[in-house]
Copies of this chain bind each other. A is one copy, B any other.
Amino acid sequence: MAAVRPVPHVYSSRQSLLVSGEGQRFTAAAMMQCPPFQKRRVVSMGLSEQGPSVAIVGVTGAVGQEFLSVLSERDFPYRNLKLLASKRSAGKQITFEGREIVIEELTEDSFHGIDVALFSAGGSISKKFGPIAVHKGSVVVDNSSAFRMDEGIPLVIPEVNSDAMSHIKLSNKKGALIANPNCSTIICLMAATPLHRHAKVRRMVVSTYQAASGAGAAAMAELEQQTREVLEGKPPTCNIFQRQYAFNLFSHNSAVMQNGYNEEEMKLVKETKKIWSDPDVKVTATCIRVPVMRAHAESINLQFEKPLDEDTARQLLRQAAGVVLIDDRASNNFPTPLEVSNKDDVAVGRVRHDISQEGNHGLDIFVCGDQIRKGAALNAVQIAEKLL
């Protein structure tokens, strides 16, 4: 594997100071560094005449930046890289793998000759420009919720259901759209699927502890700013969220639907059914935003059709690709959001027999995963790798 190259970034004005457990100073760029425990699959050699022509739509956002980082770290092969954003950012330069690339304005003509387009610019941009790119022959990997539940559009977590996209090839130059699931769903199913395959999940009760990053880089900056203000005894600035976030938590900010669930919760319910191709699996969720920067946590209660004991569950999780087991009861060492920040793997712990269920048909688990990485950019790049 080639050494990790310096990673570019454009939003230096928004850089936040974040500190790891060891007290290191992190900037947005440093946050993109990689951990030692990853089982990384190396695909190819970066800039390559044989690689696809790649476009990134929404390159200036938190996920857009992470796309660059992940593509570089994984040596994703590309013949050409086009960076697209709104008119406001057009003309700015990004240094990527030692070359200056000028950001171009996203227009209807942006996708000529593009093989793979990674979208992360919000649902309305995806709805407008996704079909245009597909029409031009691009395979779009879309990080928004615009197409996730559309019939015929694969919704893919590569470790879970890559077969759903097996009919899509770059070689035939026919455009297609593949949807990246919501971050909470990806993190949940990375942990639940190895257990589901073994014992079939009948019902799942999920409570989330979601980071600021899910609401974008500006929300991370607001959490930091508010925290400074609160510590100085000043009123907290509330632009992104309607209430104080520092030293507080609140029900997820997405709209609440007719049935009382918010959109974030319904994504977990519906996307799970689609990804597992199991319309009968029962899911309920309560999604909460907590004052953490960039990794989500989820408390997951599982009911299985077949018996599944703790030890077998731990063994299954240990063997699962993209999952790391942190489950040391003696030293009270379990996954935390800070530990998984900037890391690829989803961490699972607190694996235990649910004493509220009869026999060996229930488990409680606690899961943490980086929202920007596996919850968004990494998963999308892994989807793109499957196309090669």
Contact = CB atoms under 8 A, between A and B. Distances in A.
Contact of A260 (B18, B255, B337, B352): B352
Contacts of A274: none
B248 A292 contact: yes
Interface string A64-91: 0000000000000000000000000000
A251 B337 contact: no
Contact of A249 (B20, B205, B290, B356): B290
Nearest to A260: B352
A117 interface: no
A220 to B, nearest CB: 10
Contact of A248 (B261, B282, B336, B349): B336
Contacts of A228: 231
B301 A18 contact: no
A275 interface: no
A293 B247 contact: yes
Contacts of A282: 355-357
B260 A329 contact: yes
B227 A22 contact: no
Given A231-B224, A329-B260, A244 B205 contact: no
A161 to B, nearest CB: 21
A362 B19 CA distance: 41
Interface in A240-277: 242-244, 246-251, 253, 255-256, 259-262, 269
A297 interface: yes
A350 interface: yes
A362 B205 CA distance: 12
A22 B238 CA distance: 11
A258 to B, nearest CB: 9
A227 B337 CA distance: 16
Interface string A280-295: 0011101010111100
Contacts of A259: 352-353, 355
A19 B235 contact: yes
Contacts of A96: none
Contact of A299 (B207, B262, B338): B207
A99 interface: no
Contact of A350 (B232, B243, B251, B355): B251
Contacts of A355: 259, 261, 269, 282, 284
Nearest to A233: B25
B334 A251 contact: yes
A338 B290 contact: no
7 contacts: A19-B233, A248-B338, A251-B366, A283-B356, A284-B301, A284-B354, A288-B297
